[in-house]
Amino acid sequence: MIQTNSGLRSLVQSLRPITSSLSEIAAYSCYTSQAASALQQVSRPNSYSEDEYAKVDWDNLGFGITPVDYMYTMKCSSDGKFEQGQLAPYGNVDLSPSAAVLNYGQGLYEGTKAYRTEDGRLLLFRLDQNATRMKMGADRLCMACPSSYQFIDAVKQTALANKRWIPPRGKGTLYIRPLLMGSGAVLGLAPAPEYTFLVYASPVGNYFKEGLKPLNLCVEEEFHRATRGGAGGVKSITNYAPVLKAMARAKSRGFSDVLYLDSASKKNLEEVSSCNIFLVKGNIISTPATSGTILQGVTRRSIIEIALDHGYQVFIFLKEGCMYQRKLKWQSPILHTKTKQKGCRLKTTGKRLPANRTDQKTGQLKNIPIGSCPITNFKHK
């Protein structure tokens, strides 16, 4: 059993009490294992009556946009300092046609979730790491960025302002998307003179339509998510539209998503369109290194730390060929980092084609019953 370690409070030193007009907001606290897989408490224990929930069919909640009550906005000008943000009714935003985000893709986003507990508390997951990752991305794209304190406060306020949209426990979560964009007008290629930080939310169910059922992944050779020296290691908005064609092609063939190879050799596994991957055999877990082309996932880091806590050996491969696609034949479960999704098992099908192509080698990912793998079992608690 994973025990609480008070020494990990350093992970949330920046999460000091925040003054807000919302009376429900309490001081941040963090209870974690040595793996630092903490949920941050964002409201006092409370008892919620049914009439305080929004009118949503919680039993049939998919992953899509459901307009909520409020969003949060904050701006900064050329001095690089963000002014005091504020909650506003959820709605459209005004942008110049020459905004840098529209013309040059100068934008970043994060994704996190608010969870409801059985006793009515609202929980957030490791926001300090999302804030740090946005800072890294902002530096890469030459953008001004809110401080970690501002980031966390904005997400916290957005969650509490929309708490009636947080699904009952076991029915889903409130997906929260912090968005940083170059909102200032530019014509020539240059950093924007103004930036907008915006946080919006939507209640969601499972990301994949299969829910907790098995997934099929298609190994992609023609298209690549990222290249060396590019922006694949940060959560830039420009990283996602290019994968749509590969995803559409895979889904037309009955697959759930795409598993990408490195662009240099087309042999090494990297990640899925929207999540990191792990290969598991016995008590050995292996995953590609986040060496510039792979996003530094918050869930990825948490799984690594939890795995080490449970006595697993974790190999983060830095060298070419260590995560070669042929290893799919002998590896056991495949885990991915989309929240609330089961682990998967690979079963090879078909014959190899010339030049080691994978069109007929793509395997069916079969479900591992929840609880059979300590990592996935802990992850779903």
What's the pLDDT tens digit per position in 260-273? 888 888 888 888 88
HSE-CB of 360 using CA atoms within 13 angstroms? 7
The pLDDT of residue 368 is: 30
Residue 39 lies in a domain: yes
The pLDDT of residue 319 is: 52
Task: Tell which of 204, 237, 258 closes a domain.
Answer: 204
Say how far apart CA 288 and CA 267 lie, in whole Å. 12
H-type alpha helices, 62-181:
100-103, 127-140, 148-161
Residue 209 lies in a domain: no
Q: Say if pTM beats, i.e. exceeds, 0.85.
A: no
Structural domain range at position 301: 217-379
283 shares its domain with 329:
yes
CA distances from 21 to 91, 108, 157, 160, 312 (A): 21, 28, 9, 11, 45
The pLDDT of residue 35 is: 33
The pLDDT of residue 115 is: 93
Domain count for the chain: 2
Catalytic residue among 113, 163, 235, 342: 235
The answer for residues whose C-beta is within 8 angstroms of residue 275's C-beta and 6 or more apart is 297, 299, 336, 337, 338
294 shares its domain with 371:
yes
Is residue 164 within 8 A of residue 54, CB to CB? The reply is yes
Task: Tell which of 159, 176, 204 closes a domain.
Answer: 204
Instruction: State which residues of the chain have pLDDT below 50.
Output: 1-48, 50-51, 320-321, 325-332, 339-381
Say how far apart CA 142 and CA 158 lie, in whole Å. 26
The pLDDT of residue 339 is: 44
Q: Is 351 an annotated catalytic residue?
A: no
150 shares its domain with 239:
no
122 shares its domain with 70:
yes
The pLDDT of residue 8 is: 29
